[in-house]
Amino acid sequence: LIIIQVVLNCLLLFAKENKTTMVSFKASQLLALLENTDTGLIVTDFGGKVLYANEYFMDLMAVADSKDIEGTDFEKWISKDHLADFRTFTAAAIELGVRKNSEFYFVAADKKTMALEICSLRSTSEAGTCLQYIARDISRQKLIENRLREAKEKAEESNKLKTAFLANLSHEVRTPMNAIMGFSELLLSDNIPQAHKEKYINYINNSGAVLLNLIDDIIDIAKMQSGQLAVKKISCDLSSILYDLHSSYSQLIKTQKGDNVKLMSEGAVPRGRIKLMTDPLRFRQIFTNLLNNAIKYTDTGSISFGCNYDAAIEGKRLQFYVSDTGIGLSQENKDAIFDRFYKIEDDKLKFYRGAGLGLTISKNLVSLLGGNIWVESEVGKGSRFYFQFPIEDAFISISERPETKSEIDYSMLENKKILVAEDEEINFIYLDELLKRYKAEVIHARNGQEALDIVIADSSIDLVLMDIKMPVMDGYEATRLIKDQRPSLPIIAQTAYALAGEKDKIIQAGCDDYLSKPIKPISLFKLLSQFLVAAN
């Protein structure tokens, strides 16, 4: 700092002595020194007019000619937000003689903003009174600092959220467990009226579903973190997916909210027919996450969902929405809700259950499927979630009628011979009960080898429900060998499907489709209806 001050003083002195003639040899050397340093040097009078700026500073300010900077107010180059601080800094330099290392943002002629660290020296030599500034470009350092700060804050926030998540998780697990264990115990008591029994069983069922959902979400989050969550796009009929969702959710909303919340159906399903290249399971999961939230956070009014079909017709992106008239979201929470474990906890509002995973999973799934997701919302008025996919993933045919059929024709099961390969007795009893209700004939194989032997011996088997993990011969092997014998016999795998890649392995083994355990009756019958046809 002192050296630069001496150089500047000498220069000013030489310049003063040689006002009209060329600057002397010594002065020109000093000037060369000042011009070639990688530090900005500026001299102003006490009024702030620039008397001199070296080439480095001119470069920083994106000016080519010294005339464009000399004679200007130095303040002109300071960012407006920093002007007041800069004036205080300069006043202190005039009063105290020196001010060191303050950071200010400057705005160059090309509007680029940069951070400079400034020192200021008051000079009252023979050359006259002036202020000398030394400026160091710290933009890069500032950028790194800001990134580090953001990363640190994010890590701290993430750690805080993780801790809150673990505390919350215990609550989320214990609440349904409490119901399951409590009502199971009650069921064992004597003389419970039938109506009460049904109510208890319903509680147990619902709590089981809540637990299962939580386990699925945790597995999905773990897969996402390890980069193992994969999607497989196939051509799907969009109308039938939306119809299915509509029929299950109108029922669910009615049960949970009575007449207080209505599911608006208008426009939910496209008028024409759209085939969408997507992963049907994951596509449905995005909708169910958003719809479950809409139900959770809406006590009165309406919920609607569907496809913005017109945008697709116009060749834009294929857009979907889920909208509600519920509690809504503040501006601040709108982005944060897509973060892992983020849950809005407001003691003044009622307590809402949830682990804060659904939207993170939805966001990841939408992005894996090549789209994006966002929300528009206002506190107290409701929220509208949107997600969209590239139009290239959709095939639209307007002339065809949409597929409206979502009813299952249970007569398809009458007199059909279904082989259930299952080593767990309890799982077999469940499937046996379900299938026999609709007059199917059920045959039991306890392992893959038995299943193979039965298929070879009995050519009238119509379909196989194949467990994968079985003793003696597993489901993969049995499927391969059965398909060698009877390639057209439909085989549906039934699996716990938790491990990455299992789905692919099942399909590669030759299975026509698969069902995830626990198997819901509706999913079983829907899938069976794709492979079995009613006799008449």
Which residues of the shown chain bind ligand ADP in the complex (CB under 6 A)? 293-294, 297, 324, 326-329, 337, 342-344, 354-360, 383
Q: Are 103 and 138 in contact (CB under 8 A)?
A: yes
Question: Which amino acid is residue 296, in one-letter code?
Answer: K
Quote the least distance from Cβ 40 to ligand ADP, whole Å: 48
What is the C-alpha to C-alpha distance for residues 118 and 223, in angstroms, rounded to an integer?
50
Nearer to ligand ADP, 57 or 321 (CB): 321
Which residues, 6 or more positions from 365, have their beta carbon under 8 angstroms from its beta carbon?
229, 231, 282, 285, 286
Q: What DSSP state is assigned to residue 266?
A: T
Quote the least distance from Cβ 254 to ligand ADP, whole Å: 19
Nearer to ligand ADP, 44 or 383 (CB): 383
Closest CA to 258 of 295, 207, 222: 295
Nearer to ligand ADP, 181 or 215 (CB): 215
Quote the least distance from Cβ 66 to ligand ADP, whole Å: 57
CA distances from 263 to 201, 266, 299, 330, 381 (A): 27, 9, 12, 24, 17
Quote the least distance from Cβ 77 to ligand ADP, whole Å: 45
Quote the least distance from Cβ 174 to ligand ADP, whole Å: 16
The DSSP result for 490-528, as a single string, is -EEEEE---STTHHHHHHHHT-SEEEESSPPHHHHHHHH
Quote the least distance from Cβ 62 to ligand ADP, whole Å: 45
What is the C-alpha to C-alpha distance for residues 56 and 62, in angstroms, rounded to an integer?
10
Nearer to ligand ADP, 366 or 491 (CB): 366
Q: Are 89 and 120 in contact (CB under 8 A)?
A: yes
Nearer to ligand ADP, 69 or 290 (CB): 290
Quote the least distance from Cβ 216 to ligand ADP, whole Å: 12
Closest CA to 188 of 177, 174, 204, 172: 204
Closest CA to 472 of 448, 493, 454, 490: 448
Quote the least distance from Cβ 355 to ligand ADP, whole Å: 5
What is the C-alpha to C-alpha distance for residues 475 and 488, in angstroms, rounded to an integer?
17
Classify the phi-psi angles of 2: left when phi > 0, otherwise alpha if psi is within -120 to 50, otherwise beta: alpha
- The residue nearest ligand ADP at its CB is 354
Nearer to ligand ADP, 171 or 405 (CB): 171
Nearer to ligand ADP, 354 or 448 (CB): 354
Q: What DSSP state is assigned to residue 402?
A: P
Nearer to ligand ADP, 70 or 376 (CB): 376
Closest CA to 478 of 453, 504, 514: 453
Quote the least distance from Cβ 311 to ligand ADP, whole Å: 22
Nearer to ligand ADP, 363 or 416 (CB): 363
Quote the least distance from Cβ 265 to ligand ADP, whole Å: 19
Q: Are 369 and 232 in contact (CB under 8 A)?
A: no
Nearer to ligand ADP, 306 or 326 (CB): 326
What is the C-alpha to C-alpha distance for residues 517 and 70, in angstroms, rounded to an integer?
78
Nearer to ligand ADP, 345 or 403 (CB): 345
Quote the least distance from Cβ 242 to ligand ADP, whole Å: 19
Q: Which DSSP helix (H) or strand (E) runs through 235?
A: strand 234-237
What's the 3-state SS for 46-76?
CCCEEEEECHHHHHHCCCCCHHHCCCCEHHH
Q: Are 300 and 325 in contact (CB under 8 A)?
A: yes
Quote the least distance from Cβ 226 to ligand ADP, whole Å: 20
What is the C-alpha to C-alpha distance for residues 388 and 307, in angstroms, rounded to an integer?
9
Nearer to ligand ADP, 320 or 430 (CB): 320
What is the C-alpha to C-alpha distance for residues 197 and 189, in angstroms, rounded to an integer?
10
